Chains A and B, each alone.
Chain A
Amino acid sequence: AQSVSQHNHHVILSEAASLELGCNYSYGGTVNLFWYVQYPGQHLQLLLKYFSGDPLVKGIKGFEAEFIKSKFSFNLRKPSVQWSDTAEYFCAVNVDNQGGKLIFGQGTELSVKP
């Protein structure tokens, strides 16, 4: 069965530090990849998505992610985090034979210290 793995359960950073959150998936076919953010007590919001083309994807709020097909990875990065980036981050995958279904990773809690 397809699965998504996020390596870091909880990441604590100081403001202005660089961020990289790992995401790996297990599926050999075509995938669409997503990063969602969930601020405390709120719904999920789309940060960025990859379907095809340039493997380096830029999203909102200065986030970017790189799809490395050979590593089945889609890591999220931000050069300089802010306190307002404190949230839960979810990687998700949609596989080509399952319509609109999203398979989520376990989530990574990011805490940014001011």
Chain B
Amino acid sequence: DTAVSQTPKYLVTQMGNDKSIKCEQNLGHDTMYWYKQDSKKFLKIMFSYNNKELIINETVPNRFSPKSPDKAHLNLHINSLELGDSAVYFCASSPYFSDSPRGYTFGSGTRLTVV
């Protein structure tokens, strides 16, 4: 069983479309994250949820909306996709927000290409 699974693995779509990326963790962790890795491989946090509550919301355009239906799932919906959204998006989870870095587990990533 994959600990942190993301779907889809690859996503190619046209500008202006709306798309979602799903993330699920079976580790029983309380905290989940979305990170974006750009074309230069630079990783930056986008969002963090702790037990379904939004904790971290970096300066991300409003077109990006995370949703956490339960603590095992954190989905990322993107409206009106732009070329600059092309990146690899990584989901991650950790046991507790206050002690989170000790137990980060990353998903395998979703490579989004906007054409």
Q: Is the CB of B42 within 8 A of A104?
A: yes
Is B114 part of the contact surface with A, judged by Cβ < 8 Å?
no
Is A70 part of the contact surface with B, judged by Cβ < 8 Å?
no
Most chain B CB inside 10 Å of its own CB: which residue of A42, A94, A102, A103: A102
Is A25 part of the contact surface with B, judged by Cβ < 8 Å?
no
From B33, B44, B109, A100 is in contact (CB under 8 Å) with B33
Q: Is the CB of B108 within 8 A of A43?
A: yes
Which of under 10, 10 to 19, 20 to 34, or 35 or more describes the interface residues of A?
20 to 34
B91 to chain A minimum Cβ distance, whole angstroms, is 9
Q: Is the CB of B41 within 8 A of A107?
A: yes
Query: Which residues of B (30-54) have their CB < 8 Å from a CB of A?
Result: 31, 33, 35, 40-45, 48
From B42, B100, B109, A99 is in contact (CB under 8 Å) with B100
Which of under 10, 10 to 19, 20 to 34, or 35 or more describes the interface residues of B?
20 to 34
Give bound CA distance, A102 to B100, whole Å.
Answer: 9
Is B62 part of the contact surface with A, judged by Cβ < 8 Å?
no
Secondary structure of the A side of the interface? Answer: strand
Q: Is the CB of B45 within 8 A of A101?
A: yes
With a cutoff of 8 Å between Cβ atoms, the chain A residues found around residue B33 in the complex are 100
With a cutoff of 8 Å between Cβ atoms, the chain B residues found around residue A102 in the complex are 35, 43, 45, 101, 104
A3 to chain B minimum Cβ distance, whole angstroms, is 11
Give bound CA distance, A11 to B75, whole Å.
Answer: 36
Binding site for B on A (CB under 8 A): 32, 34, 38, 42-46, 49, 51, 88, 90, 92, 94, 98-104, 106-107, 109
User: Would you give 15 A-B contacts (Cβ < 8 Å), ordered by A?
Assistant: A32-B102, A45-B106, A49-B102, A90-B43, A92-B43, A99-B97, A99-B98, A100-B33, A100-B98, A100-B104, A101-B48, A104-B42, A104-B43, A104-B44, A107-B43
8 extra interface residue pairs, beta carbon distance < 8 Å, beyond A88-B41, A99-B98, A102-B35: A34-B101, A43-B108, A98-B56, A100-B100, A100-B104, A101-B45, A101-B48, A101-B56
